[in-house]
Amino acid sequence: MKSCKHKCGLTLVEMLVVVAIIALLATMVIDVAARLDSKAKERLAENTLAVLTAALEQFHDYGYSYPAPFSEFEFPLDCNGFSVDMVQTTLATALGAGSVVISGGTHDPSYSGSAVLYFLLSRVPECKNTLQSIDRSLVTHEDALGNRMRIVVDGREYPWARIVDPWFVRAEGSRTGKALRYDCYTETVIPPDPKETRNFPLVTFAGPDGRFDTADDIISRPGSR
């Protein structure tokens, strides 16, 4: 009687099919995970903008008083793109301070709008409490090398903090993240002209692509005014 011998192993073709199926499933899982991560960051950005909109309304209602020539301003100053010298000069005038110094590291002008917004909102108690609702991972006062930035106003020291983009807060090669953009007043003159204001400020995150004024920007909803 002849015995039948059965092969128990997989053929090369079968192994390749299994590998292909596993690779396809892995790709699908990674894609779904990436989509969920992006959605979570989008929600985080939207929640942050909602908090900032509430804080801006509180700032307006509080009636924060600037000295001349900023006395007509009703919201935090718009300092997008200002150099460190411009920020120091503008804030010294707006705060009626004898001295404003930003130190501790290297100030990037792309941080100016976010940093000035955060600093001025923090000067109003109600706004400061509201800002505590922002996820701490999005607030930093480090420069690109990890140095802790600070602002000293007439000898009193504060963290020179800013709010950064959820997509870039821990990006490889960056310790700082991409700062949001705060648009309220014209940026072409110092001091800005209070007649050239929006009805309510806009706050913008650059979104996944890291570039402003593109389709994936996340922009705050207009205030109630």
Does 7 map to a domain? Answer: no
Does 225 map to a domain? Answer: no
Does 98 map to a domain? Answer: yes
Does 81 map to a domain? Answer: yes
Residue-level pLDDT at 61 = 95
Does 197 map to a domain? Answer: yes
Which domain does 104 fall in, by range?
15-219
Residue-level pLDDT at 146 = 86
Counted domains in the chain: 1
Does 1 map to a domain? Answer: no
Determine the angle formed by the axes of helices 112-122 and 84-95, rounding to 10 degrees.
Answer: 20
Residues of the chain with pLDDT under 50: none
In terms of Cβ atoms closer than 10 Å to its own Cβ (0-12, 13-18, 19+), residue 135 is middle
Does 8 map to a domain? Answer: no
